[in-house]
Structure 1
Amino acid sequence: MQNFIRTIWFTLLTGFVIPWLSTIPLFKRKKEIIIVMAPIAALLAIFVDAFGSYLKLWGHTPKFKLPNISMLPQDFGIFPVLSAWMIYFIDIKGKSSRFVIFLFSLLTIGLESIGLALKTFTYKNGWNMIFAYISYAVAYLLMFMYYTLLRKVNILTRSETL
């Protein structure tokens, strides 16, 4: 039981609290990115996790009767935060969208590999880092497409370089 509680705290801190603390400078620079992008990124993360859990492609700890519960801190934390930072680097810093999507997919798979090493996350049924990388790249591409749609309809505007 004590290990279960420790795992919950670790997941909350690393998957939710620390990522959201990293958005303080982003919130000061361009809060619109967080406000508009994070909810959609969280929805996308929940959908992908539900789909992968249904197909039994991965597993998370701690274990709950509902398998997706253990991923909620990451679904509402690290994935929306990384999506917001990705858009920031594309929008304000003017970096190439392909390059930034590639880098953020690598960063995310790197963070996931830490979870694999710590055994808070496992791959199943042939799922591996290559498939995971592709799924992150597709998810970040979808977030970028959403961002371009928001710019097209003037909900988000491109910022001047800081």
Structure 2
Amino acid sequence: MLGNILLGMVVPILLAVWILRRNLKILVIYYPLGVAIASCINNVGFNYFWNILPNTRNQSFAALPMNLGIYPIAGCLMMYAIIVKDAKPWVAILVSALSLTLLEWLAKMMGHVIYFNGWNIIWTFLSYLLPFVLAYGYSKIMRYTK
């Protein structure tokens, strides 16, 4: 569990605060959205499609560091690339989804993630792609409400 906390939450948050220190508004706007989406997807996934180590009575507890760390931070960094660095949105979305998919594939190869009920790496990619598309759509809505 210490590895989940360090690699899934502490390191990503420190990295994001360092990168986004002059753009904290991005963290304030997109971090809560990322936490909400990650929690919803993982709660469904743990019941039907995947499991991560360490095994706990409530599998959502094992994913809590990732739900509070790497997943929302990846969305914030993607939005930073789009808003501040003028990255093309679909390129940023695909790179972000592919990056998280690669990290999960590595965790799966090391035995830290277990898939079942037909779940595979393609579904994993789509489960990362959808939240990034939602975050980008949210940013478009936020621009119209200013």
**TM-score, structure 1 normalization:** 0.87
Q: Identify the range of structure 1 (61-70 vs 23-32) with the bigger mean alpha-carbon deviation.
A: 23-32
Match of 1:44 in 2: 37
Q: Percent identity, aligned pairs only?
A: 25
- Alpha-carbon distance, 1:71 to partner: 0.4
1:129 is aligned to 121
Partner of 2:105: 113
Once the two structures are superposed, residues 54-110 of structure 1 have per-residue CA deviations (whole angstroms, 9 ceiling, x without a partner) of 22x000111111121100000000001000000000001111111110110100001
Q: Given residue 47 of structure 2, which amino acid in structure 1 is its aligned partner?
A: Y
Tell me the distance in 2 between the aligned counterparts of 1:142 and 1:112: 20
| Residues 1:60 and 2:36 are matched in the alignment | no
Equivalent runs, 1:8-157 vs 2, <5 Å: 8-55=1-48, 57-154=49-146
What are the superposed Cα offsets for residues 15-59 of structure 1, whole Å, 9 maximum, x if unpaired? 00110111123332210000110011011000000111122x000
Larger radius of gyration, structure 1 or 2? 1
SS at match of 1:23: helix
| Structure 2: gaps spanning 5 or more residues | none
Distance in 1 separating the partners of 2:42 and 2:71: 11
Count of equivalent residues: 146
What are the superposed Cα offsets for residues 129-160 of structure 1, whole Å, 9 maximum, x if unpaired?
A: 10110111111100111111112112xxxxxx
Unaligned runs of at least 5 residues, structure 1: 1-7, 155-162
TM-score (norm 2): 0.96
Q: Given residue 133 of structure 1, which amino acid in structure 2 is its aligned partner?
A: F
Alignment partners' CA distance in 1, 2:90 and 2:43: 27
- Equivalence for 1:4: none
